[in-house]
Structure 1
Amino acid sequence: MDVSSLPLTRLYMENLDVRVTAVGYNQVWTDWRELDYTPDYNKFYLICDGEGWLKIGDSEYHPAPGQWFLMPQGVKQSFSYTSGTRFTKYWCHFTARVGERNLFDLLQVPDFIDAKNDGEAARLFRDLFEYRSLSSISAPLLVKSAMLQLIAYYLEHAVAAQPTLSPAALTEPLQQVIAHIQSNYHRNLTIEELAEQAHLHPNYFIRVFKRQFGTSPIQYVNKKRLEETKLLLVTSNLLLSEIGDRVGISDISYLSRLFKASTGFSPTAYRVTFGSR
């Protein structure tokens, strides 16, 4: 992945919201067939056994056992039983949104990965299946956690295929805003300055930024400042006032309140707890 796109990609990951709508493990029926439909959810298929046919966009596949397929929301798809042994597969339907956009509209990843010799993939699906059937108060949290682990596994194992930001994400003016924040977070950045980078009216810019990333521009700027504050607390002997000057928050009491609200520690306690000894 292009290093210059990493801050934008991390922002998407940090603000990802997932919802699981269906989960299963079964052998498909002989009438398993749907042609040229466009779902409003994403699908994962982990093929365990059998034969069949898939079409994702313009690409056709005859998946083999051990292959894990992603069928993204908003992409025309088809699938069908063939004359051989019917597919047995783990599957799930889910949404994965950053703001108002589907994650897989923002990232370019392959249609499938090979998990043939890795029992971890099947275990992750089993966990999701198990958590989905629970009635405990924590079940929704376990389901979300398991779904995030599935997505993380898929993305990590797609590294060999160099997953990247989609062309649409790369060409949007908001990428320029993220780059500007990364280079200038230590200054007194204003909404007007950031909006100018995107060539948008400030009020409209705030709405567009939040729809795209799931967080406000100022929240993102402060998050970047706090990340740098944490690093300087544990890697230097700088006074908090000096750190504040470096990260763009000269009001030390405000920096302390913001830091504690984010981490649960005062800056001093954080340094004592996590600093080198």
Structure 2
Amino acid sequence: MENSIKKRIPEYPQILSSSIVFGHFIMKSDRKWSKLLLDRPGILLSVRGEGEIFYRNDILEINPGEAVVYSALPKHLFHAVSEWECYWCHLPEEFLAELTSCPENTHVPGVWLVHFGQQSRERILAEFRECYLLYLESKEQFAPGISGLLKVILRRMVNELNISERENALSQVFEPLLQELNPPWKKLNLTELARMCKMSRATFFRHFREFYGCTPIQYRDNILIFHAKHLLVYSALRITEISDRMGFPDQFYFCKFFRAKTGCSPSRFRMQMRNMKTAFGCDDEE
């Protein structure tokens, strides 16, 4: 199907009076060009290769699986860093009203960058390609379908932008909190941590898990294991001394904790790592 598509694709559309214009290109490396239409904004979805959008000295790299939304003005320029395959669309301003109400997240004026995960990327690409094929077939006949699919695509892009903005906000909230986990063996008081974030305990727990992919206790435990492994490998401290230094009530509790998280005892882990270092001729330096 891709081969048949490429044969039918003009580099630029032949009719420019339509309110929605679609295109597809495979640009050779190091080619530069300006956007075709200046009276409406556009979307560019990068499929393969790398490119850039820029205005004056402000440049934004665009990688596969990323999309950029750009306003009608200023007149943005594009550059194919390598052979670059993209789908693009110019559309009426009102289609982008919700998306352009999101804060610009790039340093290039009038440009929003949307990064998609693997599943979202495949879905967006399939929807964009479907719009393009309908446009080639008959943009007048399939205008309602094209508009409907475009609205779905734009809704997905707005969702991605909102998620990124929310993650930035949560990062600012949780960053000072991480100081409370240093040293990591400090006892956690989840109620106090939630109060520091100005959240209820349940809301704090939910947001922390969404942001870090684990609970606060799991996060703390992961840091504990990291420190324990470091001391076992790079220090001559006895197991009892490591247990004391890390704040465990006794060696038995530390060994039980370590085995539950790693599947082996601290002494066995130390022996395995020493054997490995000997086999590979590694030094004992950190």
Q: Does the TM-score normalized on the shorter chain lie above 0.5?
A: no
TM-score, length-normalised on structure 1?
0.44
Q: Which has the higher contact order (CA 8 A, sep 6+)?
A: 1
Larger strand fraction of residues: 1
TM-score, length-normalised on structure 2?
0.43
| Structure with larger Rg | 2
